[in-house]
Amino acid sequence: MGKKPFWLDDVQWSKVSRRFSDDTNYPRMIDDRTAVSGIIHVLTTGCAWADCPPTYGPYRLLFWRYRRWLRRGLWETMAAASSGHGSAPMPARSFGLVAGVSPGRSKG
């Protein structure tokens, strides 16, 4: 792949982390910050879900959370929260891709 993995910094995470506090009806195999970072990595690089670096956790879990959070409208609220004052916003392209069809392809 060659792309450096994306990680939310502390300021970015503080802007969006409370959005996940209501979403507790599923097991936490990986923490939300890691999942969001992995999902943004897939969205910004355009890689297939199965090609996502394993440092983010199982790609099927990332894809499942992406779809769950998409249905719940969390990406739109995260984009709005990210555009506030302060540090650099999260990659805008990440949220531009979430409107319709899922990015990348899941191999398997």
| Predicted confidence (pLDDT) per residue in 84-107, tens digit | 544 444 554 454 444 444 455 444
Residue whose C-alpha is closest to residue 35's, from 2, 1, 58, 10: 58
Domain range for 40 is 31-96
- Report d(CA 95, CA 27) in Å as an integer: 25
- The dihedral of CA 28, 32, 36, 37: what is its sign? negative
85 within 8 A of 28, measured Cβ to Cβ: no
Assess if residue 9 is contained within a domain.
Answer: no
Into how many domains does the chain fold?
A: 1
**What is the token pair recorded at 4?**
């450096």
Assess if residue 11 is contained within a domain.
Answer: no
Assess if residue 101 is contained within a domain.
Answer: no
Assess if residue 4 is contained within a domain.
Answer: no
pLDDT of 102 = 47
pTM of the model: 0.71
pLDDT of 48 = 94
Assess if residue 68 is contained within a domain.
Answer: yes
Assess if residue 87 is contained within a domain.
Answer: yes
Q: How far is CA 20 from the centre of its chain?
A: 12
